[in-house]
């Protein structure tokens, strides 16, 4: 069995009376592609925000690469090898595409700035748009730019929140090929509503509902799970 790169135990975050994440246990194997699914409001984005440090943990623990990161801020988790792309694009809109990625490359400490920046852009098919102002890109291309920024950090864990939102069908195939190309060196955790993408790409799937773990298993396991069908897959 593959080693676990990340584990969470009893992870909890409430907002007033809303139990966004309610005592979730979670294990992520090194080198896998793992999807998190569930109905709107299930707690998916809050959960990965806890893992990445964007939201502080209320209770519970998180270990990454064998070390406790529960109280580490987000920037310290990036330095440990966790990159997180946002559900809503978080690019520097007035800077050129090249500069957006170059900033991430610089943070990683590269001594070959242009080579590594252009390589990251080429991986997502945006190398021919390096000089374009990032805010003028189509929304789908902005999502790809954000992925390039994440890859430029050379992370051990890449967390993607709704990565195919805004992508054309032709771009989705390229995205799936891209994700497959980064494993096993990089572990991928994604939140995704496109079930065709989830079932084709993920090796394991975690289902959240009302902030709690509903099910976990292979795509075949999830398809056959009656509770998941009732809560999310529509029968």
Cis bond upstream, residue 138 (ω within 30) = no
Give 235's pLDDT tier (boundaries 50, 70, 90): very low
CA pseudo-torsion sign 174, 78, 154, 129: positive
Per-residue pLDDT, 14? 92
Tens digit of pLDDT for each residue in 167-200? 888 889 888 988 998 888 899 999 998 999 999 9
- The lowest-confidence range among 36-45, 187-196, 214-223, 226-235 is 226-235
Mean pLDDT computed over every residue of the chain: 89
Per-residue pLDDT, 48? 93
Which residue reads 């252009």 in tokens? 118
Per-residue pLDDT, 174? 86
Per-residue pLDDT, 169? 87
Give 59's pLDDT tier (boundaries 50, 70, 90): very high
For the chain, the first-to-last Cα distance in angstroms comes to: 32
- Residue 193, both tokens: 């509503």
Which residue reads 């190309």 in tokens? 181
- Cα(63)–Cα(7) distance, rounded to whole angstroms? 5
- Residue 232, both tokens: 């999310």
Per-residue pLDDT, 1? 55
Per-residue pLDDT, 86? 62
Which residues in 31-51 are b (16+ Cβ under 10 Å) and which e? Answer: bbbbbbbbeeebbbbbbbbbb
* DSSP structural state of residue 3: P
């Amino acid at each position: 069995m593959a080693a676990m790169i990340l584990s969470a135990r009893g992870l909890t975050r409430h907002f007033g009376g809303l139990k966004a994440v309610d005592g979730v246990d979670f294990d992520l194997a090194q080198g896998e592609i793992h999807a998190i699914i569930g109905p709107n409001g299930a707690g998916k984005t809050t959960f990965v925000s806890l893992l990445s440090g964007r939201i502080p943990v209320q209770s519970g623990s998180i270990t990454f690469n064998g070390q406790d990161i529960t109280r580490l801020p987000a920037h310290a988790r990036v330095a440990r090898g966790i990159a997180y792309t946002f559900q809503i694009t978080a690019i520097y809109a007035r800077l050129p595409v090249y500069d957006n990625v170059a900033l991430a490359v610089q943070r990683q400490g590269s001594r070959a700035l242009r080579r590594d920046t252009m390589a990251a852009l080429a991986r997502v098919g945006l190398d021919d748009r390096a000089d374009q102002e990032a805010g003028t890109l189509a929304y789908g291309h902005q999502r790809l730019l954000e992925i390039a920024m994440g890859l430029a950090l050379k992370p051990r864990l890449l967390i993607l929140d709704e990565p195919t939102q805004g992508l054309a069908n032709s771009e989705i195939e390229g995205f799936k090929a891209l994700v497959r190309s980064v494993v096993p060196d990089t572990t991928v955790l994604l939140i995704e509503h496109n079930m065709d993408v989830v079932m084709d790409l993920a090796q394991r799937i975690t289902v959240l509902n009302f902030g709690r773990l509903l099910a976990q298993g292979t795509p075949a396991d999830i398809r056959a799970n009656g509770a998941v069908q009732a809560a999310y897959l529509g029968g």
